[in-house]
Amino acid sequence: MSQDNIIEMQNVHKWYGELHVLRDINLTVKKGERIVICGPSGSGKSTMIRCINRLEEHQRGKIIVDGIELTADLKNIEKIRTEVGMVFQHFNLFPHLTILENLTLGPIWVRKTPRAEAEEIAMHYLEKVHIADQARKYPGQLSGGQQQRVAIARSLCMKPKVMLFDEPTSALDPEMVKEVLDVMINLAREGMTMIVVSHEMGFARSVAHRVLFMDYGRILESNTPNEFFENPRHERLQLFISQILH
Amino acid sequence: MNQPHPHVSTQPVSAVRPPVTSVGPIGWIKQNLFSNWFNSLLTILTLYLLWKIVPPFLRWAFVDSRWYSDGAACREADGACWSVVGRNIRFMIFGFFPHDQQWRPLLAMLILVGLLFYSRNRKHWKKSLAYAWFAGLVIMGLMMQGGIFGLTEVESTQWGGLPLTLLLAVFGLTAAHPLGVLLALGRQSRMPAIKALSIAYIELIRGVPLISLLFMSSIVFPLFLPEGVTINKIVRAQVAMILFTAAYIAEVVRGGLQGMPKGQYEAAESLGLNYIQTMRLVILPQALKIVIPPTVSILISAFKDTSLVVIIALYDLLKTTQSMLTDPQWMGFSTEAYIFIALIYLICCFFMSNYSRRLERELNVSR
Ligand SMILES: Nc1ncnc2c1ncn2[C@@H]1O[C@H](COP(=O)(O)OP(=O)(O)OP(=O)(O)O)[C@@H](O)[C@H]1O
Ligand SMILES: [Mg+2]
């Protein structure tokens, strides 16, 4: 494999019981590359990115992250998870911990960072997502948009090499979508490697190097944003784009 | 132009008061006690019953009662004979512990209660508290057992009464809870052997009454021990109670674990936390908080179940009272003695539920 590939998926298949949800996925992501994935509901987008940090197990094929192949080996899985940040649709903040504690949990327990230093890092990222003044509050006291920004900061505190986003804005009220997207755009400007499941076309156009279209567990199309939206080749994609435009 | 819209209220905010009948004591009575004919009927019935019960009880307990007289004088009075408690309190509380040494269990109990009270405040939950408990336990053991530092040795067969009850309860409950949590985790384990063992244990224990476990611990279990080896009867009873209570706690905790959203596990795991860290830092703090009310129910009933140790001839608080009542002088005054015992149990249970509610409130800041 090449040195600057951070993620390689080769002929990956996955089944839920009888249901074939990933069919022969091949995907290579270079360091610094930003990829947006879209596709109809149930097409396997979440499943695919969750395979990358082994929240789901693939049954066939190979997934290599940062030079380590994902197998049943727990040590490898934990190692990879520290390098791969994940942001969920429903934030999944820890409600019993303050914002600051949410952010320092990983660094202190996984990276073994001293508490004072971990808090410093946490405050740095909270400032980055414009929410430093809420550090002592609990997640339940924040709005959805604020919670999602905290979730992004929580992942960043682990200093990951890749960030995965699974529909980060689709559980948000419309007026909060922008504040989260702005944070993600800033992240992109700094050169973070990102894989984002999202139907935000504006976001895809402004930051993505490549946009993928998934359907029935396959990657049907992969192209630059411009080509992807202006000249969709696949019939399914043409239909899909006309639907999300209206 | 200045004319307000017809639907906009022009009345000043403070001027309007609700009608008298809906506020004040009269309003309250009307609303809560006589809101309809059925409610009114219940209210009148309750008042009648209270009138029938409360004054005679007060008369029995406080007006016609005897507080200091001996048994013979008591028999001539109509009211309660509280002296049955006053005169026998040392035996009821300390059982057969040598009379001149009874300051020792008293001191042990005071240390225990003091530590419990100090631990109530979550601000005190630091490492030093653990040391304090450890030191406290050593001193308590020393006080009960004796044998060194010039303290006469007191065999555990002579322990009894309230110290024994508290001992069984406090150690039983503090040991049963973590064991129950481990069992609950075991039941959810992905490793089939651990899972099967946990399920078998839980179902087995829950299918057996505590009394039979106590019998087994006192009669059957020693048969399996090699010749010459004996295990203290109190320890055996204690272990039986711990094993019993843990099975129930395990099921309650399992309920809490199942109530946790999957996203919490995923978020913790995607930070790279391992299984133990995920459970300890993310899942259990939330799950255990949800199950505080049912857990406390179990603990309270386990506390009361300590009185079952009488069946293996341990003299707990209830048993010492019972045997005191066989004294001819005090025979027949069981009502008073049992009311007193009931009060002790009530106070303990009240503090347990009071503490749990407080804990819940303190942990609730996150909502
Ligand atoms: N835990 C599971 N068990 C069984 N089937 C599942 C499970 N998770 C997902 N599926 C199925 O797998 C398929 C792919 O699901 P996935 O969540 O990856 O879709 P998606 O593209 O992310 O859809 P959406 O846009 O709705 O999030 C769907 O048909 C779904 O019903
Ligand atoms: Mg999805």
Angle of helix B103-120 relative to helix B161-187, nearest 10 degrees? 40
Burial B213-237 (b: 16+ CB within 10 A, else e): bbeebbeeeeeeeeeeeeeebbebb
Mean pLDDT value across chain B: 81
Residues of chain B contacting residue A93, judged by C-beta atoms under 8 Å apart:
267
Residue B367 has pLDDT above 60, yes or no: no
Q: Give me the mean pLDDT over the B231-248 stretch.
A: 85
- Name the helix (H) or strand (E) containing B264: helix B262-270
pLDDT band with cut points at 50, 70 and 90 for residue B14: low
pLDDT of residue B248: 92
Distance CA A10, CA A25 (A): 6
B34: in domain? yes
* Shortest distance, CA A226 to any CA of chain B (angstroms): 33
CB contact under 8 A, A81 and B268: no
pLDDT score at A126: 93
Q: What is the ipTM of this complex?
A: 0.93
Q: Which residues of A touch B288 (CB under 8 A)?
A: none
Q: Which domain holds residue B34?
A: 18-63
In angstroms, the Cα distances linking B87 to A42, B66, B90, B92 are: 79, 12, 8, 10
B272 closest CB neighbour out of A55, A81, A138: A81
Ligand 1 atom nearest residue A217's Cα = 14
Residues B158 and B58 both lie in one domain: no
CB contact under 8 A, A158 and B271: yes
Residue B274: how many CB atoms within 10 A of its CB?
17
Which tens digit of pLDDT belongs to each residue from B128-186? 888 888 888 888 878 777 777 777 777 777 777 888 888 888 888 888 889 999 999 99
In whole angstroms, what separates CA A162 from the centre of its chain?
Answer: 8
In a domain? residue B347: no
Q: B79 and B64 in contact (C-beta within 8 Å)? A: yes
Confidence of residue B13 (pLDDT cuts 50, 70, 90): low
Q: Pocket of ligand 1, candidates A12, A13, A47, A214: which has the most ligand atoms within 8 Å of its Cβ, to mutate?
A: A47
Q: Whose CA is nearest to atom 29 of ligand 1?
A: A42
H helix and E strand count, chain A: 9, 10
* Element spanning B301, H or E: helix B292-305
Question: Can you tell me the mean pLDDT for A45-63?
Answer: 92
Report in angstroms the alpha-carbon separations of B48 from B35, B53, B55: 19, 9, 12
Nearest CA in chain A to B282: A94
Structure tokens at B86: 């006053």
pLDDT at B279: 92
Residues B42 and B189 in one domain: no
Please name the member of B272, B286, B365 whose beta carbon is closest to the beta carbon of A138: B365
Token pair belonging to A194: 């990102």
Q: B294 and B181, same structural domain?
A: yes
Instruction: Please check the confidence at residue B74 and state whether its pLDDT lies above 80.
Output: no
Total structural domains within chain B = 2
Over the stretch B287-316, which tens digit does the pLDDT of each residue have? 988 888 888 888 888 888 887 877 777 777
Same domain, B171 and B47: no
What stretches of A174-234 show up as alpha helix (H) in DSSP? 174-189, 201-207, 225-230
Q: List, in sequence order, every residue forming a beta bridge with A65; answer none if it has no partner.
A: A7, A68
B329 Cβ under 8 Å from any chain A Cβ: no
Instruction: Please state which of the ranges A14-28, A96-110, B57-71, B130-144 shows the lowest mean pLDDT.
Output: B57-71
Distance of CA B160 to the CA centre of its chain: 19
pLDDT greater than 70 at residue B264: yes
8-state DSSP, A191: T
- Partner-chain residue, chosen from A90, A140, A155, that has the shortest CB–CB distance to B366: A140
* In-domain check, residue B3: no
Residues of chain A whose beta carbon is less than 8 angstroms from a beta carbon of chain B are 53, 55, 74, 78-79, 81-82, 84-86, 88, 90, 92-97, 105-106, 109-110, 138-140, 151, 154-155, 158
Q: What is the CATH number of the domain that holds B165?
A: 1.10.3720.10
Closest approach of B283 to chain A, Cα-based (Å): 9
Q: CA B364, CA B358: separation in Å to the nearest integer? A: 10
pLDDT number for residue A244: 78
Find out whether the beta carbon of A47 lies less than 6 Å from any atom of ligand 1.
Answer: yes
Q: Is B271 in Cβ contact with A82 (below 8 Å)?
A: yes
Query: Does the C-beta of A42 come closer than 6 Å to ligand 1?
Result: yes
Section B28-36 average pLDDT: 79
pTM for this structure?
A: 0.82
Q: What is the mean pLDDT of residues A202-206?
A: 90
Asked whether the beta carbons of A196 and A205 are under 8 A apart, the reply is no
**CA A226 to centroid of ligand 2, rounded, Å:** 24
CA B240/CA B337 separation, integer angstroms: 29
B298 assigned to some structural domain: yes
Interface contact flag, B268 A94, Cβ < 8 Å: yes
Give the model's pLDDT for residue B1: 47
Question: A43 CB under 6 A from ligand 1?
Answer: yes
In a domain, B77, yes or no: no
Length of chain B: 367
What average pLDDT does the segment B236-260 reach?
90
Q: How far is the CA of B361 from the centre of ligand 2 (A)?
A: 36
User: Is the residue at B51 inside a domain?
Assistant: yes
B244-266: buried (b, 16+ CB within 10 Å) or exposed (e) per residue? bbbbbbbbbbbebbeeeeeebbb
Q: Is B272 on the interface with A (CB under 8 A)?
A: yes
Residues 6+ apart with CB under 8 A from A44: A14, A21, A22, A214, A216, A217
Euclidean distance between CA atoms A16 and A49, whole angstroms: 15
pLDDT digits (tens, 9 = 90+) for A226-239: 888 888 888 888 88
Q: Is the CB–ligand 1 distance for residue A217 below 6 Å? A: no
Residue nearest to atom 2 of ligand 1 (CA): A16
- Is B171 found in the same domain as B50? no
Position B145 in a domain:
no
pLDDT of residue A180: 92
Provide mean pLDDT across the span B219-240.
Answer: 77
Looking at ligand 1, which atom is closest to the CA of residue A40?
25
CA B143, CA B98: separation in Å to the nearest integer? Answer: 13
The mean pLDDT of A159-166, rounded to a whole number, is 94
Residue B324 resides in a domain: no
Measured N-to-C along each axis, helices A99-109 and A115-128 cross at an angle, to the nearest 10 degrees, of: 130
B53 and B177 share one domain: no
Looking at the fold, whether B53 and B192 belong to one and the same domain comes out as: no
- Residue B130 CA to residue B259 CA, distance in Å, equals 31
Say what the pLDDT of residue A197 is.
95
Does B289 lie in the same domain as B169?
yes
Residues B304, B176 share a domain: yes
Choose among A114, A119, A118, A129: nearest CA to A168: A129
Contact between chains at A109 and B281 (C-beta distance less than 8 A): yes
For residues B98-114, give the mean pLDDT: 82
Residue B175 shares a structural domain with residue B51: no
